[in-house]
Structures are given as C-alpha cells and as structure tokens.
Structure 1
C-alpha cells in the first residue's frame, strides 16, 4: 500500500512540476532525487509568487498615482469650463449689446442693403437671358458674387459695389437702344459651329446671314433657330443687314423671343397639308388634276375661239375649226332642200359639241366631289378625336389635336379645291357655249339663205 501511495505522490509531483516553470530532467531519477527536485520546485514557485506580489504592489501604486493625476486634471478642467462659461455668457451679452447698437446705428441701411441684394440677384438673372450678353459675356458674374456675399454674411456692400449695380443697369438701358455688329461663334441648325458677323438689335433680337438667332441662357453662346419664321419676316432681316444709316423695316420682337418662338412653332404649308392625312392628299390630287384639265381646256377653247372668229371674217371655208366644218356641209349638199340641210347642219353641230365641251364634265364633278371629300375627312377626324377621348379622357388636349386638325384641314382643302374648280367650270362652260351659239347662229343663217334661194 505504501508503494502505491508513493507512486501516486510522485505522479502529482510530476504534474505540478510540468505545470510550473520548473522542468524536471528527462532521465529516470530515484526517490531522493525526486524529493530534492520537489523541494527546489516549491522554493522556485514561492520565489515567483513573491516577485508577482511585488509587481502587483508596484502597479497598484502606479494606478493610485495615475488616479490622483486624473482627478487633479478633471478638477482643473472643470475650473476652466466654469471660467469659459462665464466668459461665453459675457461675450453673449456684449455681442447682443453690440448688435443692438449696430441695428440702431444702421437704421434704414439694413433695408437698403436687403433691397440691393435682391436687385443684384434679379438683375443678374435678367442679364443671363438678355441678348446683350452675347456681345458682353460674363457681365452678370459680379452681381451674382455681390448677392451671394451679402446673403452669406452680414458684410456691408462698398460704394464701388453699389455703383456697379446701377452702372450695369444703365449699360443695359443704353445697349437696348443700339444696333451693333460683332463677331461671335454661332451654332448652326445642322450642329456645326462657325464664326459669323452677328447683328444685335437692341435687347430684342440677334440676326446673322439673313436668319434669326437665339441666346442660350446661362452660356452666353449664340445658336441659329432650327425653325425660322415665314419669308416675309426673313426679308426684313436681309434689309437690316444691307442697310446703311438710313431707316429700314425690320420685324422686331419686343418680347425678346416670346413672339418669335410662337411664330416658328406655327406649322407651314407642308405641315398643314400633312395634317389632312390621306383624305387631304386625295383632295389635293383631284385639285391638281382639275387644274391641269382646266388649263388644257382653256388653251384649247382660246385657240378654237380665235379660229372661229377668223372663219367668220373669211369667205373661204377652212376645216381646221368647228365653224368651217359646219359651213362645209352647205357646199357638200348644194342641191339639198331646206329641211335636209337643217338636219345635216344639226348633225354637224352635234358632232362638234363633244370636242368643244371636252373635260368640262370631269371638272364639274371635281368641284362637287371636293367638298364632299372634305366632309369625309372632317367626319374621320372627329371619329379619331372621340376615340382618343374614350381611351385617354379630356385631360390632355394634345391627344385630341390630331383628329381636330384633320377635321378642319380637310374641310379647308375641300373648299380650296371646290371654289376654283367651280369658277373654272363656269368660265370654260361659258366659252364653250359661246362657240356652240356661234355655230348654231351660223347654221340658222345658212338655212335661211337656202330657204330664200328656194323661194
């Protein structure tokens, strides 16, 4: 039993020795050596514990010292905070007193500088959109800086800055009454940029090479209007560019581009025709056909009338005109009686009538069909309008504009075609009836002459 106790004690000693910093020799030892090593390990562990206790006491003293230093620093900072708070309160009271004194001394100047700031900002915004800035760029920047400085701080404006505001206003007023020319880089309608000589008409319009220009706001750059107004306005631009010191007519836009913007948005003739749609194109095609036929018939009736009049003044019968061919019947039937001759002359006149009245029926049909086609386009356009109202409601008028445009434009196109076709038909019909009347009159004279000879 005592051997087992000794073995267990040795195992415990070995475990404690391996756990501590002391390391046992690796060779096998006897019992005396184990006891000696155990005593040495216990002594070494006791020595290490003493060293740890000494270090702990030293660290505790250091922590105590740091705590005292931190508490002293805290007390010092609290005293400083109380001192700064007292100083801050004093400064607040002094600042309030000084501000009140400044307000009393400034009086109406504060309101004056407020108005100056507002005027500077408004003037800078107007200068950015003024066409004068195309010739004098970046003149609005000092006013913007002044308004920003006065709004950012309570700094008062100097006399030079105050004078710059009304000097800029006077400059704008003076330039609005001048017509000047200057070179500027112009953005053309096709996107290219080119240096052009620009004519500025006051503070209203910019023109170059017979076309109107516009100022792009915020950039001081000039661009050509993609859509120009009608030719009668562009003609005045050329007159202005070619004019000398003498007065000349010019289409001036006093709204600085508002009216001009509305004019260029108005659809031209091609766009008006396009608004009529398929029905409108059919109406115009009928009108063109009618005009061509009317022109052909007008020329033919004019020549025919001239030949008939020449035949009336000539005793020689010519078969190159209707009257000559009718009069030739008398010579072809010299021995025919009156009734037979009358029938032959009537037959000859009836033979000439289709050639005299050629195309007149078709022109009359066009004059009647054209307004009916316009009415068809009107009904079609209104159907499209009501369909748009059914699908999208009446909130957006642009959705209904297409159908209404077709309804109105086709009506106008139908009337535009029908009115001249009616007048042309009346004119040509009158000319043809005059020629037929001459033929009938001459035929009646021939019958009367043959009747007198027979008696």
Structure 2
C-alpha cells in the first residue's frame, strides 16, 4: 500500500514538474518543489483577491457614475420642463403685447402699411432709374425703412418718413433736369474710361455722341453695342450745347436707356436683310441684276432701231 501511494505521489510530482519547468529548474529537491508550488498558489490567490477587489471597486464606481448620470438627466428634464413653460408664458405675453400695441397704434398701423407699399414702389423706381447712375446708394435708406415698418420691435421716425418724401420728390425733380456729370463708362471693347456723361431726365444717357445704357444690377454705365443710325449727331450737339434748344433723338420709354431705342438698334439694315437671305438671296439678286441689264440692253437696241 505504501509502495502504491509512493508511486502515485511520485507520478503527481513528475506531472507538476513537467507542467512547471521553471520551478523544476530552480528546485534542488522535491521538498523545495513542494514549497515553491505552495508559495505560487498563495501568490495566485492573493492576485485573484486583488483583482476581485479592484473589480468590485470599479463596479461600485460605475454604479455611482450611473446614479449621477440618472440624477443629471432628471435635473435636465426638470429644467427643460421649466424652460418650455417659460416659452409658453412668453408667447402668451408677446401675444398680449402685440394686441396692446395694435390697439395703441390704431390708424397708424394702416398708415404704416401704406408707407411700406409706397417705399417698395419708390425703391423699385429708384433701382431702375438712370438717376442712380449719377446719385448711387439711394435705395439703402429705403431698405432700412421697409425693414423697420415690417418689424415687430421697431417703428419709423418722423425723420424717416420725411426722408421717404424727400427721395420721391428728388426723383421727380431730377426727371426734369438735363445734367452733365463725370463717371466711369464701360466701352464696347471692354475697357473703362472716365467721361463727361449727359443725363436727359430719366430717359437717356449720352457721352461723346454715343448713347449709353445703365445696368441696375451692376451699377455700370456702358456704351451700347450698336448706336442708332442718324441720331449720334444730335447727341453730340446736346453735349456740346451750353444753352438754348438742341435737336436730339430721345427715347421716352426709358429708364434703362429705353426699350424703343433698343428696338431701333436691333432693327437690321437693308444690307443686313440682304445678307440674311444667304445663297438664295444672292441668286435672286444676280437674276434680278441680269434681268435689269438685259432689259436695259433691249431698250437701247429698240431705241436704236426706231
């Protein structure tokens, strides 16, 4: 029996020795090997307990963080409810204040509506007017005035209303004047040059005997790509005149330089119409010329016979 136990114990020691070669190399005897195994087990147990304690500590920390997050969430939800209630209260208060404002304004509200419409119409007219080529920036005030009258928190002042009347009156006065002023003009070749420009009311702009056009979108004054035939002399005479009356072709359809003037410029000449016919037109012209020549020859021959 003792022999059997000794064999089993020896086999166990051998298995442990093979599974722990480092211990087997350091151990001098079986007793030392047993001591090393025992100390290793104790060390592993201590490490396990340490890891377990750290895990439990982390678990408590995570639970604490979760509790804090839930508490913060609940606080933010309560704050959100308070803010939503504040918004509802403010909306009610704003509605009451607007109603109170409308009652106090009375007929002034209708007046502001008319002023807004008038300011919009004047702004559109000033944007298109060639007077803006001489006096730029007139619509900036009107933009601000319209913004004030459309706002719920601002009202136009007496000075603003007087300025609106002034701009309308100035446009009416300028439409009756013939004025010369200096400004940059975009030429047909793409270059810009400083010129003395003559403005005829709100109808046409001329310079150096040329008709000009004004672009409201860019604010540029440019030479027409094509000048109306037979009318440039009048434009030059007007620019050179200092007093009296001058005959000049005027387009009353202004204010961009005139739709009538554009139609006149775009009307093709007789030579251009002939070229529009292409080969067919050239053949017809040749046949016509041949027929005229033949008729003239026959006429001369008949006259000689008679």
**After the TM superposition, which residues 120-131 of structure 1 pair with which residues of structure 2 at under 5 Å, given as runs?**
120-131=119-130
Match of residue 250, structure 2, among 249, 252, 270: 252
CA change 1:197–1:43 in 2 (3 A) is same
**Counterpart contact for 1:273–1:280, Cα < 8 Å:** no
Equivalent position of 1:269 in the other structure: 270
Equivalent position of 2:83 in the other structure: 84
**Counterpart contact for 2:27–2:33, Cα < 8 Å:** no
Equivalent position of 1:228 in the other structure: 227
* Counterpart Cα distance in 2 of 1:110 and 1:146: 15
How far residue 429 of structure 1 moved from its aligned partner, in angstroms, is 7.4
Equivalent position of 1:279 in the other structure: 283
**After the TM superposition, which residues 97-108 of structure 1 pair with which residues of structure 2 at under 5 Å, given as runs?**
97-108=96-107
User: Gaps (5+ residues) in structure 2?
Assistant: none
**After the TM superposition, which residues 50-129 of structure 1 pair with which residues of structure 2 at under 5 Å, given as runs?**
50-129=49-128
CA change 1:14–1:170 in 2 (3 A) is farther
**Counterpart contact for 2:184–2:221, Cα < 8 Å:** yes
**Counterpart contact for 2:145–2:160, Cα < 8 Å:** yes
CA change 1:217–1:286 in 2 (3 A) is farther
**Counterpart contact for 1:128–1:220, Cα < 8 Å:** no
Q: Say if 2:134 is the partner of 1:135.
A: yes
CA change 1:284–1:205 in 2 (3 A) is farther
Greater Rg, structure 1 or structure 2? 1
SS in 1 for 2:180: strand
CA change 1:26–1:167 in 2 (3 A) is farther
**Counterpart contact for 1:240–1:249, Cα < 8 Å:** yes
Match of residue 363, structure 1, among 264, 272, 296: 296
How far residue 13 of structure 1 moved from its aligned partner, in angstroms, is 6.8
* Counterpart Cα distance in 2 of 1:32 and 1:217: 108
**After the TM superposition, which residues 406-425 of structure 1 pair with which residues of structure 2 at under 5 Å, given as runs?**
none
TM-score under structure 1 normalisation?
Answer: 0.56
Query: Which stretch shows the higher mean deviation, 103-112 or 163-172?
Result: 103-112
* Counterpart Cα distance in 2 of 1:190 and 1:122: 36
Equivalent position of 1:44 in the other structure: 43
Equivalent position of 2:161 in the other structure: 162
How far residue 149 of structure 1 moved from its aligned partner, in angstroms, is 5.6
**Counterpart contact for 1:184–1:195, Cα < 8 Å:** yes
* Counterpart Cα distance in 2 of 1:127 and 1:252: 20
SS in 2 for 1:197: strand
How far residue 243 of structure 1 moved from its aligned partner, in angstroms, is 3.0
How far residue 119 of structure 1 moved from its aligned partner, in angstroms, is 3.4
How far residue 100 of structure 1 moved from its aligned partner, in angstroms, is 1.5
Structure 1, residues 415-444: CA drift from partner, whole Å, max 9, x if none?
A: xxxxxxxxxx59x977x79xx7xxxxxxxx
SS in 2 for 1:55: helix
**After the TM superposition, which residues 368-387 of structure 1 pair with which residues of structure 2 at under 5 Å, given as runs?**
none
Structure 1, residues 10-32: CA drift from partner, whole Å, max 9, x if none?
A: 435764x69xxxx7474354321
Structure 1, residues 84-131: CA drift from partner, whole Å, max 9, x if none?
A: 344333323222211221222223433433443343344333322211
CA change 1:125–1:161 in 2 (3 A) is same
Q: Say if 2:143 is the partner of 1:144.
A: yes
SS in 2 for 1:184: strand
CA change 1:147–1:364 in 2 (3 A) is farther
Higher helix residue share:
1
SS in 1 for 2:26: coil
CA change 1:279–1:95 in 2 (3 A) is same
Q: CA RMSD in A?
A: 3.3
SS in 2 for 1:250: coil
Equivalent position of 1:406 in the other structure: none
How far residue 136 of structure 1 moved from its aligned partner, in angstroms, is 1.1
CA change 1:37–1:89 in 2 (3 A) is same
SS in 2 for 1:43: helix
Aligned residues: 296
**After the TM superposition, which residues 429-440 of structure 1 pair with which residues of structure 2 at under 5 Å, given as runs?**
none
